[in-house]
Structure 1
């Protein structure tokens, strides 16, 4: 699951990135308004953590307004040193899901992110069942026919992405952008590595007695579907 951290205090940004990466999230960052604005228009995120005060010609509140104009489904958490009730109400009123006042415990931020993702992405559930597959979000586990799958981080993220977008055609580019984000620029031009991850995931699912739901849509990408 991919998050965007918009924070100009680099020490705090790094601490958030390290903590959330260790919990299995894919993290992208932005340190100023123009960079953040570009990313929210180019990419989709499960949750966006945004400071109110940013360098550049705009604020965190302006970014939230732009996200709502875009009709983004991303969860939004404001982090700010401003502790006034007016600031909190304004942020929540224009579309933020939550508001954390600095300083805060990183474990609390993580818990709030997970809560928002459950509410928005999986209808408030910690477990999501698709036929013989059960995804347990809190423990980042995948169960097939009662048996736990041993998955790499990318394989788990890929399976969750497939299930949350079931019956939708996903191009290789969409899969790469969602799972690797900013890391893509450091990788090979070829997208053949996507096929390798999908092949490995498909084999692990089938080996546990799962029906093969991963369909290849030739010339376009893949679809996670019964048909």
Structure 2
């Protein structure tokens, strides 16, 4: 799971990064520019489910308003230093999705982000069933015809976006942007095709029907779909 993190306080930043990484979260640190110039491209990536974590600082309310007014619908969580009912209510009322009070624990952040994401895409339950395949939104490996299928970290990222949008076509560019975004370690152009191929092989091998579950819609992208 990739998240954007804005924490201007240097003394808090290092510990937060370590805690998030311990729970399988990839923090991408952002600067003040993200709320102006950097926001445009991000808000256009509708498939991008990356959460935005904001530390507690004087401009946090202004930044929340800026994100929401520019059309950013991504999960937005504020990390508060102390519990304050009135302050929490104000943050939620202006557009924050959740508020977590210190001490910040990576596992809790991970679960809260997953909860917001699945509701954002219209899923009330913690999983979705597509034919013989059960996809989970909490990071658990999928089950195909009763067998748990082990996925790599990147395979999981690709599969999650397909599962959140099951039976809908998702473009390769949208998946790529959601997974790698502005990372300096962007891989080659065909990497999504490689992961799709690996997922298909694993699903077809495990499924009683032999169905690959990921359909290519030529000129448009990919779709997680039930057996014909």
Q: Which runs of 5+ in 2 are unaligned?
A: 43-47
In 2, Cα distance between the equivalents of 1:125 and 1:132? Answer: 17
1:41 alignment partner in structure 2: 40
In 2, Cα distance between the equivalents of 1:139 and 1:128? Answer: 13
Is the alpha carbon distance of 1:186 and 1:90 closer, same or farther for their aligned partners in structure 2, counting shifts above 3 Å? same
Do 1:7 and 1:50's aligned partners in 2 also have CA atoms closer than 8 Å? Answer: yes
In 2, Cα distance between the equivalents of 1:81 and 1:69? Answer: 26
Shift of 1:198: 0.9
2:91 alignment partner in structure 1: 91
Matches within 5 A, 1:163-178: 163-178=163-178
In 1, Cα distance between the equivalents of 2:108 and 2:55? Answer: 16
Aligned residues: 220
1:197 alignment partner in structure 2: 195
* TM superposition score normalised by structure 2: 0.80
Matches within 5 A, 1:210-225: 210-225=210-225
Is the alpha carbon distance of 1:63 and 1:211 closer, same or farther for their aligned partners in structure 2, counting shifts above 3 Å? farther
2:55 alignment partner in structure 1: 51
Matches within 5 A, 1:66-215: 66-81=66-81, 83-121=83-121, 123-138=123-138, 140-183=140-183, 185-188=184-187, 190-209=188-207, 210-215=210-215
SS of residue paired to 1:141: coil
Is the alpha carbon distance of 1:63 and 1:45 closer, same or farther for their aligned partners in structure 2, counting shifts above 3 Å? farther
* TM superposition score normalised by structure 1: 0.80
Q: Which runs of 5+ in 1 are unaligned?
A: none
Do 2:21 and 2:106's aligned partners in 1 also have CA atoms closer than 8 Å? Answer: no
Shift of 1:121: 4.0
In 2, Cα distance between the equivalents of 1:63 and 1:98? Answer: 15
Shift of 1:69: 2.3
2:63 alignment partner in structure 1: 63
SS of residue paired to 1:49: strand
2:7 alignment partner in structure 1: 7
